[in-house]
Structure 1
Amino acid sequence: MADTGNGSPGQPHRIVVVGGGAGGLELVTQLGDKLGKKGLAHVTLIEKARTHFWKPHLHEIAAGSTDLHEHATDYLAQSHWHGFRYRVGEMVGLDRDKREVIVAPAIDEEGAPITPPYTRGYDTLVMAVGSLTNDFGTPGVAEHAIALETPAQAERFHRRLVNACIRAHMQAEPLAPKQLQVAVIGAGATGVELSAELHKATRALVSYNLERIDPERDIRLNLIEAGPRILPALPERISGAAHKLLSGLGIRVRTGSRVTEVSAEGVHTASGELIPAELVVWAAGVKAPEFLKDLGGLEINRLNQLVVGPTLQSTRDPNVFAIGDCAAAPWLGHEGTVPPRAQAAHQQASHLVKQLQRRINGQPLQPWRYRDFGSLVSLGEYSTVGNLMGALVGGNLWVEGLFARTMYLSLYKMHEVALHGFWRTALGSMSRLMTRSTEPRVKLH
């Protein structure tokens, strides 16, 4: 009975998904449509946030080029439309013997209780809690840097950016050395995309009557990377093209610079240099949430990721699955594990929809194989660079410019279609396109 995960006779199979990121929300939406609405399974999403936003676009919220409220998906409404249950709360424990998820009480901004602590029984549990920024224990990061893990953090950074520009415009005295200086630590996709987006956004921001600020003279963007090149996980050609474009914009790209401390004055490197900065973003490294370390004795790796087999089941409990950034899934046919990318979470969610139906029917599960379709990095309005892979393009195809930008945008549209269907996605895109001409080019608050 443990292998099939079947519940009590005559009762719908209980599927609990913890985490409403890209993979988790796509999974419960499709399971709700296929199983929940038909009474074939009871599908529940446990998530502490109220709305979902596609994490790869958080840098656009931080820069102010995207309004969170135009793209956020309300979990409660989504659950109503798609046949699953949304329960607010943060998972803090797991009782594998009883097959229960332990959830902490939800508290509002003023400290008032919303929900009491509770447990949720399951026959199949899917962990999809994503990843967090890994600061590697660097002093001062928690106090003086902002990580782009949530929409709230991205909005916080944007408010600080707008306030910094207004303050600099209004003050009588000359700018201090660190004023209007930004340091982005970590030159992976998030750091590179944020740097390019900030270059465009800061110029748009000061154009709204903040004429005392000269962006070319007063605003300095620093992209800091400990390794020998930016975008270290991507092919060298992509890295070189992005480096050349960023440098051409006047962004100071610093490779081989290991950060040892972040202070109120700026960023300190191993070479003894102080890079002045009023605003610091930490985008170097990821790890799974800390609570996974002691989650029911399940196996984890050094990044706190749950170790799973080819069927995405945890190594120590076939009733517990994991997908997305919190899962260390084997890359069949390759060495190591599947990289933490949105396309991997999307593929895993689509695979599990079919496999959980097989599980309910008592059929054996099929292994998941990751298909790497390449990598695309958006440099804002300036360009998009990357490579496409697979049989469709005959191997590895270098792309850039408008075509690459179109492919990059299509990744998000695929996510929207998975959540809302084709026609609602198309109508929503048209509506946003029509209203864009009546709004500022950048969010001003």
Structure 2
Amino acid sequence: MPRTRPDGRKTQIVIVGGGAGGLELVRKLASHYDAQDFDIILVDRNTSHIWKPLLHEVAAGSLDANLDEVGYRAHAFRWGYRYFDGALESIDRDAQQIVIAPIMDEDGSEVIGRHRIRYDYLVLAVGSVSNDFGTPGVKEHCLSLESRKDADRFRRKLLNQCLRVSRQMTLDPASDAFARVAIVGGGATGVELAAELYSAATALGYYGLEVFDEKRLQVTLIEAGPRILPALPDKLAASATAELEALGVRVLAGTKVTAATEAGIETAGGEMIPADIKVWAAGVKGADFLAHIGGLETTRNNQLVVHPTLQTSRDDRVFAIGDCAHFVPEEGGKPIPPRAQAAHQMATTAYRNIRAMIEGRDLKPFIYKDNGSLVSLARYTTVGSLMGNLVGGRMAIEGRLARFVYVSLYRMHLFAIHGWIKGMSLLVIGHVNQVVRPKLKLH
């Protein structure tokens, strides 16, 4: 194994993006390679990581992100890699350098100017962003749940609206004021958020909003497809629909959205769905800055085209994993779906293949194992299917077993980024916090 480059400098491996795949990968690399010979670098525009499937709980206030987020600087110190705060702007493949955009202070002053970081091996794991499909008004009037910042913003807006309703009801008990939320997209994010909102609304009365309850919450879930949760079998999707409607959610399947306005959501059928808060969760794509970045091949949705080894199609030293990677396992097949389990599996393959490149061994192809899909309906229930590759996704599970498996996915993520000892410690602390901490985060 080469200890240094021919010019005497360390071999430098740069990972851009500290999401589920990127953070797992950087931890694996840093724990394997000696810092005296290898420089492992993580670049991310945020200073901390939170598991994306938890963002709906942060948005509803059911989860305090301060307790579950991972600070990159502390994590880097623990595992022996370097962390750079910054956003990727471009890639200079000839010089084998990435260009980091200037970092600006809150008042607009420049903290760090545009700069470059060299790499011997580069991994892009920058995730995805919401795809509004060009729908008028979405960018101006809808929120998304792509980051903790988005989730915090949603929670503040929700609490403010609940306070308005509570105040109106105090002044006029006969008031017909409601907190109205419209969610566009009947996938896992939209369904989980809708259920979590009712769970949070039930508890608001115990935290200063004495005259507010879930009856004053109106949630509409809008899906363009024939049913919600297209990744799940029909029976489970129907079960989830029934559960949501029992909570009070208005589920509109087969309903295309034509525009978003300040007043609400307009549908192709001519209905205006009034909403104080509008959330867009109808699809994802690669970030706009990825379009042909560094001359790399990208799809129409700005995803980086990769070989079975997860190397980008035009540069073997540049890998892509997670939602930003476009990989079709077989000719005529479907691309790997943008799921946390896919990012986790890709991180493992990228780790092994980077090691193989450094050691002069053959690289192995990425083989996606569909472990099924699970959707949590807050404290009410969980539905899903397991072992999709083995039984065609028809092993349906619901209730406590599904909830146990759902929670186990997060536990495995903790172990992957922290190791077993700290991961177990965090689980114990999490159980304690469930007892001693407030049920809702209201600030």
- Output the TM-score relative to the length of structure 1: 0.94
1:335-380 CA deviation, whole Å, 9 max, x = no partner? 1211111001001111221211111111121111011111111111
Task: Report 1:13-162 matches (<5 A).
Answer: 13-37=11-35, 39-162=36-159
In structure 2, the residue matched to 1:444 is: 442
Which one of 333, 337, 340 corresponds to residue 339 of structure 1? 337
Mapped contact 2:165–2:177 kept (Cα < 8 A):
no
Q: Which one-letter code corresponds to 2:96 in the other structure?
A: R
* In 1: Cα distance, 2:293 partner to 2:180 partner: 41
- Distance in 1, Cα, partners of 2:437 & 2:144: 28
- CA positional deviation for 1:334: 7.3
- Return the match for 2:347 from 329, 346, 349: 349
Over 3 Å counting, the alpha-carbon distance change for 1:349 and 1:215 in structure 2 is: same
1:200 matched to 2:202: no
- Aligned partner of 1:224 among 219, 222, 225: 222
Distance in 1, matches of 2:392 and 2:124, equals 35
User: What is the identity, as a one-letter code, of the residue corresponding to 2:12?
Assistant: R
Measured after TM superposition, the shift of residue 51 of structure 1 is: 0.5
Q: How does 1:222-371 map to 2 (within 5 A)?
A: 222-332=220-330, 335-371=333-369
Query: In the alignment, residue 119 of structure 1 is paired with which amino acid?
Result: R
Residues 392 and 272 (structure 1 numbering): CA distance in 2 closer, same or farther, change over 3 Å? closer
Take 2:72 and 2:238, find their aligned partners in 1: how far apart are those partners? Answer: 40
Deviation track 1:91-124 (CA, whole Å, cap 9, x = no partner) reads: 1111111111011111122223222211111111
The corresponding residue for 2:211 is 212
Count of equivalent residues: 439
Structure 1 position 76, deviation (Å): 0.8
Q: Which amino acid aligns with 2:375?
A: V
C-alpha distance in 1, partners of 2:127/2:205? 36
Residues 139, 391 of structure 1: alpha-carbon distance in 2 compared, 3 angstrom cutoff: closer
8 Å contact from structure 2 (residues 39, 81) kept in 1: yes
* 2:71 aligned partner, one-letter code: D
> Secondary structure of the residue that 1:296 maps to in structure 2?
helix
Measure, in 1, the Cα distance between the counterparts of 2:174 and 2:207: 20
Which whole-Å CA distance do the structure 2 matches of 1:134 and 1:424 have between them? 36
User: Corresponding residue for 1:430?
Assistant: 428
The C-alpha deviation readout for 1:221-256, integer Å capped at 9, x for no partner, is: 110111110012332222112111111212100011
Question: Match of 2:153, as an amino acid?
Answer: R
Alpha-carbon displacement from aligned partner over 1:269-294 (angstroms, at most 9, x marks no partner): 11110111111111111000101113
Cα gap change, 1:178 to 1:14, in 2 (>3 Å): farther
Matching residue's letter, 2:321: I
Is the 1:306–1:322 contact (alpha carbons within 8 Å) kept by the matching residues of 2? Answer: yes
Does the 8 Å CA contact 2:224/2:257 hold for their aligned counterparts? yes
List per-residue Cα deviations over 1:14-66 (Å, max 9, x = no partner).
Answer: 111111111011111110110144x3421111111000111111000001000
The verdict on how the C-alpha distance between 1:362 and 1:176 changes in structure 2, with shifts beyond 3 A counting, is: farther
Aligned alpha-carbon RMSD (Å): 2.0
Aligned to 1:405: 403
Structure 2 contact 385–393 (Cα < 8 Å) conserved: no
Q: CA deviation at 1:432?
A: 2.3
Between the aligned partners of 1:63 and 1:290, the Cα distance in structure 2 is 28
CA–CA distance in structure 2, aligned partners of residues 165 and 434 of structure 1:
29
- Which residue in 2 is equivalent to 1:168? 165
Per-residue CA distance 1:51-87 (angstroms, 9 max, x = gap): 0111111000001000010001011111111111111
Change in Cα spacing, 1:342 to 1:167, as seen in structure 2 (3 Å) is same
Alpha-carbon distance in structure 2 between the residues aligned to 1:93 and 1:391: 37
Match of 2:186 in 1: 187
Unaligned runs of 5+ in 1: none
* Displacement after TM superposition at 1:392 (Å): 8.2
Q: 2:374 aligns with which of 351, 373, 376?
A: 376
- Whether the 8 Å CA contact 1:205–1:444 is kept in 2: the answer is no
Q: Which amino acid aligns with 2:67?
A: E
Higher mean C-alpha displacement, 161-170 vs 220-229: 161-170
Q: Distance in 2 between matches of 1:350 and 1:42?
A: 19
SS in 2 for 1:223: strand
Distance 1:176 1:299, change over 3 A: farther
Q: Note if contact 2:142-2:279 (Cα within 8 Å) is conserved in structure 1.
A: yes
Q: Assess, with a 3 A threshold, how the Cα gap between structure 1 residues 294 and 333 changes in structure 2: closer, same or farther.
A: closer
State how far apart, in whole Å, the 2-side matches of 1:203 and 1:87 are: 41
2: CA distance, partners of 1:144 / 1:260? 13
TM-superposed CA distance for 1:9, in Å, is 5.3
Question: One-letter code of the match for 2:299?
Answer: N
Segment of structure 1 superposing worse, 9-18 or 421-430? 9-18
Contact 2:328 2:335 in 1 (8 A): yes
Amino acid paired to 1:185: V
For 2:279, what is the secondary structure of its paired residue? strand
